[in-house]
Structure 1
Amino acid sequence: MAEETETRWRRRYAELLQELRIAQMGVQILFAFLLALPFSSAFGETNAFQRTLYIISFLSTAAAAVATIAPVAFHRALFRQGRGPELARFTHSMTNTGLLLLILAVIVAVLLITDFVLELPIALALTGLILLWLLLLWVLVPIGRSRTGSDSGTTG
């Protein structure tokens, strides 16, 4: 029984690491864009509101990067101690935290860019649509699917 539990948490942890790799890539791409943005010539044309949006998005992305990379440090500290389930729980928690911070960073970055290019009411409307789309696909659909149980055609 203990061996079965060990196999199950290892499999779940491996699946979680795959998810984390995808999230990290998104965080890193947004972070790289935001790191370069202040050095572009057009950044000088931003107003105080847009610079505030930039700082919020930049700091949210930095925090998301820390959260999605934190499992590496935790893994280094715990893996050889036979504390796999604790490692998996921490990684799960940090992945969720990183995704929530990424939601904030993406939405604020969308508002920043659309406000720079368009009028504020249009920027707010488009950002609202993106927020709804993001919440639907990243939050509502997954929660809804988790409550209905697993599909009969899947394994796991």
Structure 2
Amino acid sequence: MGGTGSATERLNRNWDDLLQELRVAQTGVQLLTGLLLTVPFQARFDALVAHQRVVFLVAISLSATATALLIAPVVLHRVLFRRNARRPLVRSGQRFAVAGLIVLGLAVVTVIDLIFEVVAGPLAGIAAAAVAAVVFLTLWVLVPLTVRERNAADGDRIEDDEDDEDGDGDGARDGAGPHRAGSKAAVPTA
């Protein structure tokens, strides 16, 4: 058996880790959504042109969708509570979390576009949104993928929880089997 503990213990650790990560993301997305919900009631909202109102509606829609996705694992837990369904709970929770973070990133980029456009003009909005998108892609996609690949190449795995996205203890990503054929990193089995 690879990693530490039984498959059930690993699933429980994966679920606990996911909940901790969701707590951080939920706070941010709820603050963003709450602030966006107050914007139409501000005096300057009437000064927005039609295009800016559309951008605002896209931003609030993305933020609300991210809120729903990031809270969905908690609701799923309530529905599956005491039904011996930890594996599908962890698997679905992982998918909701990833989708929620993607949509949250899009919401923030859209809000940045709107704010910079209102304050400094359309070109500033586009430029700021592009910079924000690059920052999010770098920090949320490129850096994690680079770290994961270096970790796999170095064989520097302590336990299988980190790469076991579907939480089933097999070290596979979403049921796709071992990471890479011939990789130095051992693929633990449950």
TM range (shorter): over 0.9
Q: Distance in 1 between matches of 2:121 and 2:80?
A: 51
Q: Distance in 2 between matches of 1:42 and 1:60?
A: 22
1:49 equivalent to 2:22? Answer: no
Q: Distance in 2 between matches of 1:46 and 1:26?
A: 25
Question: Residue 101 of structure 1: which of 76, 100, 103 is its match?
Answer: 103
**Alignment match, 1:149:** 151
Q: Give me the TM-score of the superposition, normalised by structure 1.
A: 0.93
Q: CA deviation at 1:45?
A: 0.7
Segments ≥4 residues shifted beyond 3 Å: 150-156
Q: Where does the alignment leave 5 or more consecutive residues of structure 2 unmatched?
A: 160-190
Q: Distance in 1 between matches of 2:24 and 2:77?
A: 18
How many residues get paired?
Answer: 155
**Alignment match, 2:135:** 133
Query: Which one has a bigger Cα radius of gyration?
Result: 2
Q: Distance in 1 between matches of 2:89 and 2:39?
A: 36
Q: Distance in 2 between matches of 1:122 and 1:20?
A: 32
Question: Residue 125 of structure 2: which of 123, 131, 135 is its match?
Answer: 123
Q: Is the 8 A contact 1:67 1:95 kept in 2?
A: yes
**Alignment match, 1:89:** 91
Q: CA deviation at 1:79?
A: 2.7
Q: Which residue identity does 1:6 align to in structure 2?
A: T
CA RMSD, Structure 1 to Structure 2 (Å): 1.7
1:63 equivalent to 2:70? Answer: no
